[in-house]
Amino acid sequence: MMRHVTLYSRPGCHLCDRVRAVMEDVLRRTPFTLDVVDIDSDPALKARYDHEVPVVAIDGRIAFGYAMDAREFERRVRGDSV
């Protein structure tokens, strides 16, 4: 089953840009769907994640925050664990 990944982000967030670059690299090898959500466009998300982005959810469950290890991310989107 293909995993669904959500990246909670905001414009100008250099950590968010790094995490997205890792995701795009992994996507070349391991298929998954990706939604990038700008938390600033939703007051509830901004209140929840304002000082925590980037936040990564896999299949609706928070998996990573701030930093993300590329190997661990790839392992999880392959379905080895969530």
What confidence tens digit (pLDDT) does each residue in 34-50 have?
999 999 999 999 999 99
What topology does CATH give the domain 1-44+66-82? Glutaredoxin (3.40.30)
State the Cα–Cα distance between residues 81 and 34, nearest whole angstrom: 18
- Output the pTM of the full model: 0.92
Residue ranges of the domains in the chain?
Answer: 1-44+66-82
Secondary structure in 3-state letters for 49-77: HCCCCCEEEECCEEEEECECCHHHHHHHH
What is the spatial distance between Cα 77 and Cα 81, in angstroms, rounded to a whole number? 8
Look up residue 3 and give its two tokens. Answer: 């995993």
The pLDDT tens digits for 1-30 are: 899 999 999 999 999 999 999 999 999 999
Is the pLDDT at 82 greater than 60? The verdict is no
* Cα distance between residue 56 and residue 60, in whole Å: 9
SS3 of residue 29 by DSSP: coil
- Residue 57: which pLDDT band, with cuts at 50, 70 and 90? very high
